[in-house]
């Protein structure tokens, strides 16, 4: 079994409905598996919870991006008008901050939105051209109408035959080995 581990990524079970998947994830967690992931064609309520996923860092990154955009946008205008190119227009103060609000607002939104999207992609490690799960022929249904649970080989409890048997016990549509290469 040991030499198999080097090129086995994990074992994957295919389910017909989201409910079956949630149930399977709960069972797998109860059986002591931790290193696993589920694959769904749309965000299924309850799977993230069943997998034990809690908060993620996208909101924090977005907040920081918004703050950087807003502060940077305001400071740019302040610096331009007060120190780089001071102009006396009708005796108004150089730091006419109310006039700087629209650009500050737009830069806040821009910074936050860029960070939300690229932060999400970076945390998800996308773009990623290849991943072992794509080696499973049937996995094309993951973007259509099937729901997958993959228990990964790096799980300390993983044992090819036993894990296969365990997944088969969950009444999946199909079970397949996921190879690394």
Residue 61 contacts residue 119 (beta carbons within 8 Å): yes
Among 67, 68, 71, 76, binds other proteins (CB under 8 A): 76
Residue with tokens 């103060």: 93
Q: What distance in Å separates the CA atoms of residue 134 and residue 131, rounded to the nearest whole number?
A: 6
Binding mask 118-137 for other proteins (x = CB under 8 A): -xxx-xx-xxxxxx-xx---
Q: How far is the CB of 2 from other proteins (least distance, A)?
A: 28
Helix (H, G, I), strand (E, B) or coil at 130: coil
Pick from 40, 155, 160, 175: which binds other proteins (CB under 8 A)?
40
- For 81, the token pair is 């008008």
Of the candidate residues 26, 29, 31, 51, the single one contacting other proteins (CB under 8 A): 51
| Rounded-to-integer distance, Cα 174 and Cα 167, Å | 9
100 contacts other proteins (rule: CB under 8 A): yes
Minimum CB distance to other proteins, residue 172 (Å):
16
Residue 52 within binding range of other proteins, rule CB under 8 A: no
CA dihedral 21, 26, 27, 28 (to 10 degrees): 90
Query: In angstroms, rounded to a whole number, what is the distance separating the alpha carbons of residues 176 and 125?
Result: 25
Interatomic CA distance for residues 43 and 146, integer angstroms: 12
User: Does the protein bind other proteins through residue 140 (CB under 8 A)?
Assistant: yes
Sites of contact with other proteins (CB under 8 A): 18, 37-44, 47-48, 51, 53, 56, 58-59, 62, 66, 76-77, 80-81, 84-85, 89, 96, 99-100, 102-103, 105-107, 109-110, 112-114, 116-117, 119-121, 123-124, 126-131, 133-134, 139-145
């Amino acid at each position: 079994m040991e030499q198999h581990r080097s090129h086995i990524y994990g074992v994957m079970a295919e389910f017909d409905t989201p409910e079956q998947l949630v149930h399977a994830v709960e069972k797998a967690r109860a059986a002591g598996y931790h290193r696993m992931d589920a694959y769904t064609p749309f965000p299924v309520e309850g799977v993230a919870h069943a997998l034990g996923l809690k908060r993620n860092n996208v909101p924090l990154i977005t907040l920081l991006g918004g703050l950087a955009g807003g502060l940077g946008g305001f400071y740019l205008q302040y610096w331009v008008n007060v120190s780089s190119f001071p102009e006396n227009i009708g005796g108004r103060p150089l730091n006419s901050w109310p006039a700087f609000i629209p650009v500050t607002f737009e830069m806040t939104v821009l910074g936050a939105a860029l960070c939300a999207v690229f932060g999400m992609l970076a945390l998800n490690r996308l773009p990623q051209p290849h991943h072992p799960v794509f080696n499973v022929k049937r996995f094309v249904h993951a973007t259509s109408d099937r729901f997958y649970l993959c228990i990964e080989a790096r799980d300390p409890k993983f044992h090819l035959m036993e894990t296969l048997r365990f997944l088969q016990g969950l009444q999946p549509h199909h079970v397949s080995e996921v190879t690394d290469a």
